[in-house]
Amino acid sequence: MSNDLQKNTTQGKINAFDKNSRALKSMGGEKQIKKQHDANKLTARERLDLFFDKDTFQEAQLFVQHRSTLFGLDKKEIPADGVITGFGKVNGRVVFAVAQDFTSSGGSLGEMHAKKIWKVMDMAIAAQKPFVALNDSGGARIQEGVPSLEGYGGIFYRNTTASGYIPQITAIMGPTAGGAVYSPALADWVFMVKNSSYMYITGPDVIKAVIGEEVSHDDLGGALAHAAKSGVCHVVAETDADCIEKIKQLLAYLPDSCHSALPLLECTDGAERICTELDAMIPDKGNRAYDMKKIIKSVADHNEMFELLELWAQNIIVAFIRILGKPVGVIANNPRFAAGVLDVNASDKASRFIRFCDAFNIPLVTFTDVPGYMPGTNQEWAGIIRHGAKLLHAYSEATVPKITVITRKAYGGAYIGMCSKQLGADYVMAWPTAEIAVMGAEGACNIIYRNEIKAADDPAVQRAELVAAYEDKFNNPYFAASMGIIDEIIAPRDTRKRIIALLESLKDKKETRLSKKHSNIPL
């Protein structure tokens, strides 16, 4: 820092302050900034400029310096200690944020860098406002040693403390390796930028040395790998600017905290809108796929939805929509992928989404078209029993308004799992195309009429007759409706209207669970 600080006139002190602030704000210098831009990355300050409403960002602890003297650090100044922290407004709402500055010692995390992050996380928790981290870092500052690890520990602890209290979003906008991946993993939502970000526990070199496998950075831990294969990344962005824009879009669906009202957006979409297109959505043939996302968009205000984990476990859809301006969480089987079956990943995907929505008082709407759980050794040994149980737990535990719409199949245990009445759905509606049964008619008849079919002169004809009779009984919603297992049969075109009426009537819903420390979800 400049010696001008020593000047003892008021103007001299102000000038020195301005000069030192400017120097700290110029980050790692022109050469490093050019390197950052050449890698198609914005600098940390450019990212924050894009993120916050103009002139609202208040920087905290700009003057923090590291205090390590090890391995030459005593001679190294790291502007702002490699991380820019503070708060500002995003579309008029207060958000706390940190952005690691890769141009300053690779955004590496040392003791003081971590303490700056702790400070802003503590403020976000106390202020009950969302916390956003823009990560771009070489990881633990190697010269500092164990204080860096302690720094990460303090971040993980705060991520956990804040979980379910304030929304937490992390964007991976550069490298994230080793234990550093766990702060994003503990956050609610992880964004990654294509081609410039990666996350892994151990990189390609270590993997090659230890197990002899060869893989590139991108194949191992790039945005698409985590969006489509591991399910770690919830939203993929094309560029840094796209990433910032998408974070803002998501924030617009989220309340400030679990104690805050849901954000209300102006809605010009009519409460009485009839969705005539929905009457023609379900194909005549039961095994034909259709576009469940069209149904969700039809029902949503202005046909808009914000989908998460779009490329992972595509047999289930999780998304935010708005109904009359208010956010709603949607979970829907997707008949276009594996017939919308429930498997290990689909169960995990939906369960975590349900728990997020419940924690932040976002009502749930479930669209059901599920043929069952995925059979096979692969799924059994991957623990479909334990993962499927998460879904039962998450729905049963959720006390927000829960509305279910059965569009077609609702078979067996999977029917129960998709927010059936006994898991606490407030209201279950079925379209006339619904089929609510223990299992599909073919499978059912093969079991209950095995002997009759075998003994018949023409087993194929006999089977077809028995299947038709079973279908008559169960391939419709009327048997379930007659027993009150579902509450209503509705015309598809009225789905939006019905959901609006239900959300309105349930808006003050209060439901409690037994008083205890916490439940034990089958993780």
Residues that bind ligand HXC (CB under 6 A): 105-106, 108, 138-143, 149, 152, 175, 177-180
491 Cβ partners below 8 Å, 6+ apart? 279, 431, 432
As given in the structure block, the two tokens for residue 102 are: 């890769």
Strand bridging mode 305-308 / 198-200:
unpaired
Q: Pick the closer one to ligand HXC by CB: 63 or 157.
A: 157
Q: Residue 289 Cβ, how far from ligand HXC at the closest point, in Å?
A: 43
Give how far Cα 211 sits from Cα of 177, 203, 216, 220, Å.
18, 12, 15, 14
Q: Pick the closer one to ligand HXC by CB: 71 or 507.
A: 71
Q: Residue 152 Cβ, how far from ligand HXC at the closest point, in Å?
A: 4
Give how far Cα 499 sits from Cα of 236, 274, 363, 477, 494, Å.
30, 12, 11, 19, 9
Q: Pick the closer one to ligand HXC by CB: 140 or 220.
A: 140
As given in the structure block, the two tokens for residue 457 are: 């002169």
Q: Residue 197 Cβ, how far from ligand HXC at the closest point, in Å?
A: 12
Contact 400, 361 (CB under 8 A): yes
DSSP symbols for 166-185: S-EEEEE-SEEEGGGGHHHH
The yes-or-no answer on residue 417 being catalytic is: no
The yes-or-no answer on residue 187 being catalytic is: no
Helix/strand/coil for 406 = strand
Q: Pick the closer one to ligand HXC by CB: 143 or 249.
A: 143
Q: Which of 154, 164, 231, 413 is catalytic?
A: 413
Q: Pick the closer one to ligand HXC by CB: 86 or 178.
A: 178
Q: Which of 145, 154, 164, 179 is catalytic?
A: 179
The yes-or-no answer on residue 289 being catalytic is: no
Of how many residues is the chain composed? 523
Q: Pick the closer one to ligand HXC by CB: 48 or 140.
A: 140
Buried b (16+ CB within 10 A) or exposed e, 350-377: bbbbbbbbbbbbbbbbbbbbbbbbbeee
Helix/strand/coil for 118 = helix
Helix/strand/coil for 383 = coil
Q: Pick the closer one to ligand HXC by CB: 160 or 287.
A: 160
Nearest to 115 by CA among 82, 162, 75: 82
DSSP 80: G
Strand bridging mode 175-177 / 198-200:
parallel
Q: Pick the closer one to ligand HXC by CB: 183 or 334.
A: 183
Q: Residue 78 Cβ, how far from ligand HXC at the closest point, in Å?
A: 9
Kindly compute the dihedral angle of the four CA atoms of residues 14, 107, 164, 329, in this order, to the nearest 10 degrees.
110
With CB atoms as reference, the residue minimizing the distance to ligand HXC is 138
As given in the structure block, the two tokens for residue 20 are: 């030192």
Nearest to 222 by CA among 237, 205, 243: 237
**Cα(204)–Cα(452) distance, rounded to whole angstroms?**
60
Strand bridging mode 326-333 / 316-323:
antiparallel
Q: Which of 414, 425, 430, 437 is catalytic?
A: 414
Q: Which of 178, 372, 412, 440 is catalytic?
A: 178
Q: Pick the closer one to ligand HXC by CB: 34 or 259.
A: 34
The yes-or-no answer on residue 209 being catalytic is: no
Give how far Cα 35 sits from Cα of 38, 96, 135, 247, 406, Å.
5, 28, 17, 25, 54
Nearest to 417 by CA among 383, 388, 375: 388
Catalytic annotation, residues: 178-179, 413-414
